Amino acid sequence: MTATKAPYTYTGTGSAIDDYNSPKKQLKTIIQGGRSHSKSNWGLFDNKNQQHKAILSQLRTLQWVVPSEKWGEVADLDRLSEFLKSDKSPINKPLKDMDEKELSKMISCFESMVTKKYK
């Protein structure tokens, strides 16, 4: 089920339909990786990077998920972000700033966590 927007009176210039369909400023910042959000959330990922997808898969296996209206359940990127910032993480860097070797190390870390959880 898709959530609908609350009605409001449009007083701007241009098309009211374009205004209704355009994402709000805060959402644009998140989608475009705006400075304020990307600095605070280290869990932002590239959906075209296979290693990032592997980490997201392991998050779901670990049940690090949050409910989503559109997708049911999605990986909890805030929890991932806090983990990456903590002393428990083998690499203290944002996910997007990691190179292949560092991502491999993170994948191994999450594999170990999955093994320990389900052993």
Instruction: With CA atoms as reference, report the closest residue to 109 among 11, 39, 86, 33.
Output: 86
Largest CA distance in the chain: 61
For residue 67, the SS3 value is strand
What does the pLDDT read at residue 71?
Answer: 86
Is it the case that residue 53 has pLDDT exceeding 80? yes
- pTM of the full predicted structure? 0.65
* pLDDT above 90: percentage of residues in the chain: 56
What's phi and psi for 5, nearest 5 deg?
Answer: -80, 150
* pLDDT above 70: percentage of residues in the chain: 69
- Per mean pLDDT, which range of 13-17, 60-64, 81-85 is the poorest? 13-17
- Per mean pLDDT, which range of 4-13, 24-33, 79-88, 104-113 is the poorest? 24-33
What does the pLDDT read at residue 37?
Answer: 40
Q: Alpha helix (H) ranges present in 1-119?
A: 16-21, 25-31, 35-40, 50-61, 77-85, 100-118
Angstrom CA distances, 7 to 10, 20, 91, stand at: 9, 9, 46
Q: How is the chain split into domains, by residue range?
A: 12-41, 43-118
